[in-house]
Amino acid sequence: MLENEQINLWRGEFGAEYAVRNAATEESVRNRTRFWSKTLDSIRKGYGDPESILEVGANVGINLRALKNLCDAELTAVEPNDQAREKLVRDEVVPAEKAVAATGESLPFPDDSFDLVFTSGVLIHVSPDNLAQVCKELHRVSRRVILCAECFSSYPETIVYRGHTDKLFKRDFGSFWMEQFPSLKLIDYGFEWKPVTGLDDATWWIFSKQG
């Protein structure tokens, strides 16, 4: 497993504290269910129901719990923090073999393994030095669709995050994706305003690999 400062932070106590702080409550799952109801509709219009979905950086699985409310896809979670993965399995979000100890820099799956691959609030914690590699891996294991939901900035900037420097990076992730992979087709995009949606002012993009 590729090591760097960001991975080590999330694998350790900081990541465990995040899992407690961002618990899968009825409200948080309900908010994500609304989000996924909308974004899945955009995917279904041109590509049908995804039969397999991978979340990279799943934490305790709020997104995956929401997806279980909306579809019958086989769900897989990549998560480097042991306690978060244990919670995923204990709550039966995914079976143990589908809670994978890995990181976005090196995904242990063959090419074109999943209909839908996504991140939500994860790329913002990837060092700019590693971002292209993470996106390359996400692109590699996606068969059809990639979804990215992250905090937006028109220009790359580093934000102090809970007292830590060089641990949160904002940018226009949609443009970054299209610069890295010009053949991607934009399916849809949008913004989730926190006072209305309960999500952290996330901008999202859905891309198709099929052009």
- The CATH number of residue 75's host domain is 3.40.50.150
Please give the tally of structural domains in the chain.
Answer: 1
The predicted structure's pLDDT at residue 16: 47
For the chain, the DSSP string reads ----HHHHHHHSHHHHHHHHHT---HHHHHHHHHHHHHHHHHHHHHH---SEEEEES-TT-HHHHHHHTT---EEEEE---HHHHHHHHHTTSS-GGGEE--BTTB--S-TT-EEEEEEES-GGGS-HHHHHHHHHHHHHHEEEEEEEEEEB-SS-EE--BTTBSSS-EEB-HHHHHHHH-TT-EEEEEEEE-HHHHSS-SEEEEEEETT-
The predicted structure's pLDDT at residue 46: 80
Can you give the pLDDT of all 211 residues of the chain as single tens digits?
344 666 656 554 554 455 555 678 999 999 999 999 999 999 999 889 999 999 999 999 999 999 999 999 999 999 999 999 999 999 999 999 999 999 999 999 999 999 999 999 999 999 999 999 999 999 999 999 999 999 999 999 987 776 566 678 999 999 999 999 999 999 999 999 999 999 989 999 999 997 5
Domain that includes residue 196, residue range? 5-208
